[in-house]
A and B are shown apart, each in its own frame.
Chain A
């Protein structure tokens, strides 16, 4: 027979999974920031480029061409270095995002399978069967209990409702 709060357990699990899904981008960016070691270097390079550009703007190209050209070369070199750095950081972020997504989906699948395994033969809740006629068999699948609400039906319903609710809130 159905335990008292099985429906609430399933609802809570579905809510948690959907909430985590919406927070995945935040989690992956947080983790990538933690893993990244030379984040300061990039900001330093940017500041340096800004300084050099300011200095270059103050120099007259006609009067001090050599100095201007030297600065230009330095700026270009630093910009290339920054671009390489940004590229590697972006690649690392993409990798982290991919890993986080994979881990999440594995965990979600494991949770769903365990719920289905636990409530395969027990309905999450029971109502009089005439209330849910004529689809009582479909609703009770796979338990076969008359008037019961099966795990699959309840999972689908909870998933839809929770995603609608989170979409409305966000």
Chain B
């Protein structure tokens, strides 16, 4: 063999080796770029998720002031955030055949490595990176839950303040008694008035005036379902806002408000009943039909 032939052979081998190295370097670069992109996207997403979650998550279902929310405050704010990478990694797996745009556009003659191992390296690399980064996140995230909780509560307080400011003109316009007189309420009041007159004229000599009233209230409880139900809008008051911010679940507040509303309806009936009774008593005294 001549020396020229040897050098040519060596050159060819070197070239192919060089080509191979270039190929490996190229793949590494491509892989790195993807990892880099994932890291960038992942970091950005993480931060934006943290900020957005503090803004978005407390609001929509929770407030209107959303009293439909059933979860307690703290559990919601401390719920773990999903990692952006694993779904992306699974997405990448599903897309791996078409691969990334960089890969799609570059048909690389895969000289030695099988495609499967290459893809596995991809996935492992992608998965490993985020986990490593998540570990670093965990280390730095220990003061974050408290800060996030504080930020979320602050945002909620600002939103509640806005809602209170919006609802204040409507409440002022309605006056102190902002409850609407729905048909059932009007029926109750009229029933109380009629019963008071009836009791004054016929019944009061025989028993206490409150016994018929209690019977009437029991009857109302039974008749309630036959009347059309009026949806009462959950008003945001300072009290409900303070209760929500102090961590009391919205469902508890809803039920308490509902109970309070029912009690105030009964109290209103009692006041109307007693007032009408005394008025009719004085009227009868005035016309002199009876002596007490």
Q: Which of B41-49, B57-65, B91-99, B268-276 is near enough to bind chain A?
A: B268-276
**Given A167-B177, A170-B175: A161 and B272 interface contact (C-beta under 8 Å):** yes
A7 to B277, CA, bound (A): 13
**Given A132-B209, A134-B208, A156-B271: A164 and B292 interface contact (C-beta under 8 Å):** no
Q: How many residues of A contact B (CB 8 A)?
A: 26
- B residues less than 8 Å from A32 (CB atoms): none
Partner pick for B268 among A126, A134, A135, A164, CB 8 A cutoff: A164
CB 8 Å contact bits of A120-140 with B (1 = contact, 0 = none): 000001111011111100000
Q: Give the residues from 71 to 112 in chain A that come closer than 8 angstroms, CB to CB, to chain B.
A: none
- A residues less than 8 Å from B272 (CB atoms): 160-161, 164
- B residues less than 8 Å from A160 (CB atoms): 267-268, 271-272
In the complex, are the beta carbons of A126 and B292 less than 8 A apart?
yes
Q: Is B204 an interface residue (CB 8 A)?
A: yes
**Given A157-B274, A167-B175, A167-B177: A133 and B268 interface contact (C-beta under 8 Å):** no
Q: How many residues of B contact A (CB 8 A)?
A: 19
In the complex, are the beta carbons of B176 and A7 less than 8 A apart?
no
A21 to B271, CA, bound (A): 21
Binding site secondary structure of chain B: helix
Could you count the A-B residue pairs with CB atoms below 8 Å apart for me: how many are there? 51
A128 to B292, CA, bound (A): 7
A161 to B271, CA, bound (A): 7
Nearest-Cβ distance from residue B174 to partner chain A, whole angstroms:
8
Nearest-Cβ distance from residue A31 to partner chain B, whole angstroms:
18
In the complex, are the beta carbons of A133 and B208 less than 8 A apart?
yes
Q: Is B210 an interface residue (CB 8 A)?
A: yes
A154 to B281, CA, bound (A): 14
A154 to B240, CA, bound (A): 31
Of the listed residues B272, B274, B281, the one surrounded by the most CB atoms of chain A closer than 10 A to its CB is B274
Q: Is A41 an interface residue (CB 8 A)?
A: no
In the complex, are the beta carbons of B204 and A131 less than 8 A apart?
yes
- A residues less than 8 Å from B267 (CB atoms): 160
Q: Is A163 an interface residue (CB 8 A)?
A: yes
In the complex, are the beta carbons of B177 and A131 less than 8 A apart?
no
- B residues less than 8 Å from A128 (CB atoms): 292
Q: Is A22 an interface residue (CB 8 A)?
A: yes
Q: Is B195 an interface residue (CB 8 A)?
A: no
- A residues less than 8 Å from B271 (CB atoms): 156-157, 160-161
CB 8 Å contact bits of B234-274 with A (1 = contact, 0 = none): 00000000000000000000000000000000011001101
Would you mind naming 13 contact pairs between A and B with Cβ atoms under 8 Å apart?
A126-B292, A131-B208, A132-B208, A132-B209, A156-B271, A157-B274, A160-B267, A160-B271, A163-B176, A163-B177, A167-B177, A167-B181, A170-B175
